[in-house]
Each structure stands twice: as structure tokens, then as C-alpha cells.
Amino acid sequence: MSESVLKTAAFDPKIKSYWLVFALCISTISIVSIPLIPIIVLIVWLVSGRILAAMSAELLERKLVVKRGILFKVEKSIPLEKITDVGLSQGPLMRLFGLYRLSFETAGQSGQGALVSLLGVVDASEFREAILTQKDNLTSSQPGKAQNNEPDSQLELLRALTYSVKNIEQMMMTLLDEKK
């Protein structure tokens, strides 16, 4: 069952310039890499286009799908009902380029920080609002359904666990009888 795409994030091409300036700042801070700045600039400029082309984010009816990576491809699918926060941030260098970072935190996530973050989404606040609106629509349309199915699913789980325990007990008895 495929879900329809509600909104697709577009990424601002200014990310390439941001990455270049960021790499230059880090290289300048690290005195050892100052002689390597021309090589670093060339590598960042060549690779950043491919990285940008490999980035995508799609808002589906029930989840957010984020893809990225050129050597190591990563695809994360985040169920909308698990999203607890969608942060919108902008550092000083990002402000210079007019870029924003969207960060997604989920219920049950381990560790500090965001599970997924997207840098340079065009109209980031509009994409954020679309995610939050769809999350609200999804949760508001399901409360009665979740409450009605929850006891049944818990009862089925309890039955399955009871059945498994009885099977384990039977196997243990068989093993004990064989050893005697």
C-alpha cells in the first residue's frame, strides 16, 4: 500500500556556498590545514553538488521519508505520530546565506539531539508547518480508532505470550523426561 506524497522538500543551492565557507572557516581555525585550503575548496565544491542532488525529503500521509548520502546512502522513515518536535534553527553563518536547519525529534529516541536534521530546505517554515499540520490531522482522525483497537491488540498479545510460555513449558518437560 503506497502512500501519496503530500509535500516534497526542495533544497536551496546556497548550501554549496555555505558548506564551502564553513570548510574554509574550519580550515582557517586549524592552522595545520591552511596550506591545504585550495585542495579543500576544490573537493568541497566538487562533492557538494552530488551531496545536494542525493538529498531528499518527502512528507507522506503517515510518515516523513528523508534520503541522503553519496557513498553511504541513508534513508530514514519517521512515522508522523512519533515526531515530538520539529525545530527550526539558524546560526550566524546560515543567516548570512538565508538558510535554516529543520531538526526532528521523536518519542523513544535515544541520545541527545535530533534524530534527523535537514539543512537548507526552501521555505523551511512552510515545510515545518505542513509536517505539523499533517501530524495533527493524523492524530485527530485516529483517537477513537486507537482506543477501540488497543484493548483487542493487547488481548491478542497476551494470548500469544501465554501460548508461547505454554509451548516453552512443554518443551522443557520433554527435555527433562528425555534426560531421565
Q: Tell me if 146 is assigned to some domain.
A: no
Band (pLDDT 50/70/90 cuts) for residue 37 is confident
Q: Please indicate, yes or no, whether residues 109 and 162 belong to a single structural domain of this protein.
A: no
pLDDT confidence of residue 146: 47
**43 and 127 share one domain:** yes
Count of domains forming the chain: 2
Q: What is the pLDDT of residues 62-115, one digit of tens each?
A: 999 999 999 999 999 999 998 888 999 999 999 999 999 999 888 776 666 667
- Sequence-distant (≥ 6) Cβ neighbours of residue 100 within 8 angstroms: 88, 89, 90, 94, 119, 120, 121, 124, 125
* pLDDT greater at residue 173 or residue 114: 173
Is 132 a member of any domain? Answer: yes
Q: Do 108 and 172 fall within a single domain?
A: no
> What's 85's domain CATH number?
2.30.29
162 and 92 assigned to the same domain? no
Per the structure, the complete domain to which residue 106 belongs is given by 5-141
Tell me the whole-structure pTM to 2 decimals: 0.68
